[in-house]
């Protein structure tokens, strides 16, 4: 087409149009903060729902292990002694919460809690490369600890103390752990079940999805760490703690399951603005 003199105006117009389409499609010039907002607002809820089977499996592993450990502890208290150690069991028997020391070192405790939770989550993600065995092991360990501690405190008459402490931050921390486990299982799925794709390609795609899935847990764990360090061990009335837990859980469920962004409307607006300018140019050229 470039060699045909009569087609040069059409060629120039098509090149201009292509340039505008390129700017519309590849929005690389946007600030990173905008891209991050777009990710959490539009991409992450959809990605979570796409990988829900993996997160559901991770959740099931933790819950089944937790209830099994709970009943085993009620039947055999020595099981809790072996798992938690004598110091922890002695603290529970004295009806003391092991979290009392957090109150005196709130900022340091909050930072340590965040670091530990993030470390656990990233480890669950990375262990997916072991065909999911490492991820499953970590999920089972977390389930065991939840079950044993829950049953031990219930036997000691400390159930309300425990769950009023856990509720506010747990509604964010536990789902984040489940999602992190789901990210590891997503890597395992890509590795073990490539389908029609080459195994390496399947693993690359699954790894990309899993890393973005894990990225969404970071704000949840940061907020949970702040609440666990400052609010959960405080002297705030128990009803207030459960009320905050209910509000946070409702907000999280709404975001993950009910939030339905419509980026098509924003795209159509950009497209309308992009097509308006070429139309003006064409009219002026005709004149």
pLDDT tens-digit map of 172-194? 999 999 999 999 999 999 999 99
* Confidence at residue 273, expressed as pLDDT on a 0 to 100 scale: 45
The predicted-structure confidence for 147-162, as pLDDT tens digits, reads as follows: 999 998 898 888 898 8
Question: How much of the chain, in percent, has pLDDT values that exceed 90?
Answer: 49
Rounded to an integer, the average pLDDT of 239-256 is 95
pLDDT band for position 234 (cuts 50, 70, 90): confident
Sorting pLDDT into bands at 50, 70 and 90, what band is 98?
low
pLDDT surpassing 90 at residue 82: no
Structure confidence by residue, pLDDT tens digits, 199-224: 999 999 999 999 999 999 999 999 99
Give burial (CB, 10 Å; 0-12/13-18/19+) of 52.
middle
Rounded alpha-carbon distances, angstroms, from residue 94 to 81, 89, 140, 147, 159: 15, 9, 28, 20, 14
Helix 106-126 and helix 199-215, axial crossing angle in degrees, nearest 10: 160
pTM to 2 decimals? 0.77
Q: Which pLDDT tens digit goes with each residue over 7-51?
A: 566 556 555 655 555 554 455 445 566 888 889 888 999 999 999
For 108, how many CA atoms within 13 A lie in the half-sphere containing its CB?
A: 5
As a whole number of angstroms, the distance between CA 87 and CA 186 comes to 38
User: Tokens for 261?
Assistant: 């962004």
pLDDT of 286 higher than 50:
no
């Amino acid at each position: 087409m470039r060699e045909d003199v009569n087609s040069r105006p059409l060629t120039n117009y098509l090149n201009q149009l292509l340039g505008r389409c390129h700017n519309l499609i590849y929005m690389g010039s946007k600030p990173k903060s905008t891209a991050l907002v777009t990710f959490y607002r539009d991409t992450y809820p959809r990605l979570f729902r796409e990988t829900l089977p993996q997160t559901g499996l991770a959740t099931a592993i933790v819950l089944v292990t937790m209830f099994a450990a709970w009943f085993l502890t009620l039947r055999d208290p020595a099981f809790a002694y072996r798992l938690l150690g004598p110091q922890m069991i002695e603290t529970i028997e004295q009806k003391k919460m092991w979290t009392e020391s957090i109150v005196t070192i709130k900022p340091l405790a909050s930072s340590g809690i965040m670091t530990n939770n993030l470390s656990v989550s990233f480890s669950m993600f990375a262990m997916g490369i072991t065909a999911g065995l490492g991820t499953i092991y970590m999920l089972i360990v977390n389930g065991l600890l939840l079950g044993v501690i829950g049953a031990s405190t219930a036997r000691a008459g400390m159930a309300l103390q425990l769950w009023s402490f856990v509720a506010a931050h747990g509604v964010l921390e536990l789902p984040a752990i489940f999602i992190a486990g789901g990210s590891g299982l997503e890597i395992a799925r890509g590795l073990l079940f490539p389908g029609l794709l080459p195994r390496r390609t399947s693993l690359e795609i699954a790894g990309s999805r899993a890393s973005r899935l894990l990225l969404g847990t970071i704000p949840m764990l940061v907020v949970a760490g702040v609440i666990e360090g400052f609010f959960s061990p405080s002297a705030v009335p128990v009803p207030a703690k459960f009320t905050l837990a209910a509000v946070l859980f409702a907000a999280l469920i709404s975001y993950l399951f009910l939030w339905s962004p419509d980026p098509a409307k924003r795209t159509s607006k950009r497209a309308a603005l992009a097509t308006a300018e070429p139309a003006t140019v064409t009219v002026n050229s005709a004149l």
